[in-house]
Structure 1
Amino acid sequence: NFNPDRDIPDLTGKTILVTGGNAGIGYATVKHLARKGAKVYMAARNKARAEAAIAKLKSEGLGPGNGEVIWLELDLGDPRNPKKAAQEFMDKEDRLDVLSTLISPFVLTRELLPILRKTASHPESDVRIVMVASDGHKFVRDKPRFQTIEDLNDECKNAWIPGFARYCQSKLTNILYTTELHRRLSSSRDPATSNITVLSIHPGTVNTVPERPEIARLHLSTFVFLIGLPISVVPDVGAYNSVFAAASPVVKRERERFGGGYVVPVGRLVSP
């Protein structure tokens, strides 16, 4: 029954950064949050695609009185780039209320912690870090190791579909990172740091292939798409859980329960 138009409060004055916001679930997340008045940074690599996505958002009705969408160059394929992107963001803004990240979250999150802490020091602040994971973590075989570079670079060559195996393992690391990051932040002696809420989410089975036909060529996406097609939802609905995690008053009201947790559509806290 969740509906962002009804269940998300006015976000005027809030600044939010969404990675991968120029397509699919990220695009829909940006749209829902901007329509509630937030200033949303669409962090993406390709300027032309980002500008086209922003133009489409405006044509779909951001309208007067709604939020603003701004492109931030972010290339997660280069580990050095998130540091540069974070610095560029902090040169422009003096607050960050929500960071919603889809892939390769570690460096960007680390570099943005100073501005997240600064925002969390304000009275009545509600600062959140949302990691978009998935139930794909349930398909991880055996007990993966994350102790060496070799462990992290495991190509899962012996798996039936190596690309799918790597995807599932990456989503498991997102969830583990969320749990540990929230534990560290919440146990900090700094009141602002301990006031940051970190949670991970499963968006559900979302059909993004029509919006991104290039991924249909990948074995991973084709496999997941064909299996999930009968129960998949459109990205607009698939973004609901991300939007809930980023902006629902329920998360602030029940912070002790949601902090470090894993949320499935829509707004249900479960054990991963």
Structure 2
Amino acid sequence: MHATNPLRIARLQLESRTHQHPISDRRAFSTNPRLDLVDLKGKVIIVTGGNSGIGYETIKILSKHGAKVYMAARNESRAAAAITRLETEGVESGKVSWLRQDLADPRLAKKAADEFKKKERRLDVLINNAAIVSAPFALTSDGLSDMMVTNYLSPYIFTKSLLPLLKETALLPDSDVRIVNVTSRAHSFIKAEGSERPRFDTVEAFNKRFDGMMAGPKRYAWSKLAQILHTWRLQNELRTASIPITCISVHPGDIKTASTMKGAESQHWYIRIFTRLIVALFCQPAELGGITPAFAAASKEVAENKEKFGGAYLIPYGKISSGSEYAQDDMLADELWATTEKILKDLKL
């Protein structure tokens, strides 16, 4: 990587600002941080995987601040139950609607985006939150890692399909369009293997299986590293084209969710025990998981400092972090983009 690479230059500029934390360290350890959000009345937001956990809490925050939110989820009855629960917790009736979305197949993810575009003429914020936390290695009928499809490829095509509408909204007066990818600090699990650095240069690399007792968590980390790299590269594409959309990746914190516990059940017995212990000792309740995604989606601080936050990786609650060594690798980001586009072309998407 050379300093003359425009992506590298932008990366260095961002790194030079990461010490300027938007929220004090004291607030980062607060159990009840205050969110100062922009006016969301009239704004339209999509949150994927919003019928429980972090997505649910994010929707609750944003809808209570006036946004019209689409809960993108596969199961209609679970989404309906979640919407009813939100209304009992103070969300105005009609503020949250269900959008059918199945991330197990990128074709269905694109279909969900196309259906949304029939419903709305604007989209102010897209939050890609849904993910598989842990599962045995498996390939889809297309020969792709199912975790990479659900956590990365389907959100990629969902975002790409919605970009025209996001760009149109960004050109409206007083717009503040944002794309938020909910990732994880688990991406730092990805290390060089001997002299071999991580690669995304082939479909085989995209489908990396990993071995050993940490194979499941590492596959999850692989997908989350891909999300961070995509966020960074997309931001630079938009910046180069002078399109005013802010892209942010977010680690929401170490949060106890149903998906975390369900994922652990598919692992070896000692991983299950270890996960339960870690969750019991260190993980925070789900309601705190919605704070940093909501900050990225709608905080006034981001609105007033778009250049600073554009392409950033945030940790609780709204602090800029550099992420891991490979989360800052422009060559890896380029490899990932090229392989992703090849896969989508082969799928005729």
Which gives a bigger RCO, structure 1 or 2 (Cα 8 Å, sep 6+)?
Answer: 2
**CA–CA distance in 1 between the matches of 2:84 and 2:120?**
23
- What is aligned with 1:141? 191
Larger radius of gyration: 2
Change (3 A) 1:213 1:141: closer
- What is aligned with 2:246? 197
Aligned length: 264
**CA–CA distance in 1 between the matches of 2:208 and 2:35?**
44
- What is aligned with 1:163? 216
**CA–CA distance in 1 between the matches of 2:51 and 2:228?**
24
Structure 1-normalised TM-score?
Answer: 0.91
**CA–CA distance in 1 between the matches of 2:261 and 2:41?**
35
Q: Deviations over 1:190-236 (max 9, x none)?
A: x4xx2001010101100113x87644413298444532432221111
Change (3 A) 1:169 1:213: closer
Tell me if structure 1 keeps the 8 A contact 2:109–2:158: yes
Q: Counterparts of 1:59-208 in structure 2 under 5 Å?
A: 59-63=88-92, 68-102=95-129, 103-104=151-152, 105-142=155-192, 143-156=197-210, 158-188=211-241, 191=242, 194-208=243-257
Whether 1:234 and 2:299 are equivalent positions in the alignment is no
The answer for unaligned runs of 5 or more in structure 1 is none
Whether 1:265 and 2:294 are equivalent positions in the alignment is no
Q: Deviations over 1:33-81 (max 9, x none)?
A: 11111000000001111111111111111137xx700000000001101
% of aligned pairs identical?
46
The answer for unaligned runs of 5 or more in structure 2 is 1-26, 130-150, 324-349
**CA–CA distance in 1 between the matches of 2:279 and 2:215?**
19
Tell me if structure 1 keeps the 8 A contact 2:35–2:299: no
Tell me if structure 2 keeps the 8 A contact 1:23–1:212: no
Residue of structure 1 aligned with 2:86, choices 44, 57, 64? 57
Q: Counterparts of 1:25-44 in structure 2 under 5 Å?
A: 25-44=54-73
Aligned-partner residue type, residue 40 of structure 2: L
Change (3 A) 1:34 1:107: same
Change (3 A) 1:172 1:241: same
Tell me if structure 1 keeps the 8 A contact 2:35–2:295: no
Tell me if structure 1 keeps the 8 A contact 2:128–2:180: yes
